[in-house]
Amino acid sequence: MKLKVYQYSKCSTCRKALAFLDAHGVEHERIDIVTKPPSKAELRKVLTLSGLPVKKLFNTSGQSYRDGRFGERLGSMSENEALDALARDGKLVKRPLVLGDDFALVGFDESAYRERFGSRAPRRNA
């Protein structure tokens, strides 16, 4: 499976992550998280691979999170209900969301990216 990167073009954090991947020659498929959010099955895979709780998949600083009052509701939602909400609205999902065959990364933490992709030398401009 080609590396999937769910991203939002207006997100500066996504742009940093994509620049890192490009600079390190990491092949990936860019997917607009707003028009094509990850499926419930993909989100469940992210939970399994990352070991994160479902609440860590939420973009807590986003408008959709505030409008949906997820700060109040999330604690009483089942994992299944939370995954349904995330799969319906890509703006609820913390981004970028990187999904590989055997790993998942949520958000952009340069040290985590270096650990995962660091063996590839950065490309140099000619």
Predicted confidence (pLDDT) per residue in 8-18, tens digit: 999 999 999 99
pLDDT in the model for residue 118: 80
CATH superfamily of 4-117: Glutaredoxin (3.40.30.10)
Q: What residues form DSSP beta bridges with 99? A: 4, 104
Across the chain, mean pLDDT equals: 93
Average pLDDT over residues 16-26: 94
The pTM is what? 0.89
What ranges in 1-126 are assigned the alpha helix state H? 12-23, 40-50, 63-67, 70-73, 79-88, 110-117
Output 70-79 pairs: Cβ under 8 A, ≥24 positions apart.
Answer: 79/47, 79/54
b/e burial code for range 81-95 (CB count within 10 A of at least 16 → b):
ebbebbbebbbbbbb
Query: Residue 106 pLDDT > 50, yes or no?
Result: yes
pLDDT band at 110 (very low <50, low <70, confident <90, very high): very high
Separation in Å, CA 111 to CA 53, 57, 78, 87, 126? 21, 19, 32, 28, 26
pLDDT in the model for residue 43: 98
Query: Residue 77 pLDDT > 80, yes or no?
Result: yes
pLDDT in the model for residue 120: 54
pLDDT in the model for residue 123: 52
Q: How far apart are the first and last CA of the chain?
A: 30
- Six token digits for residue 32: 């607009």
pLDDT in the model for residue 126: 37
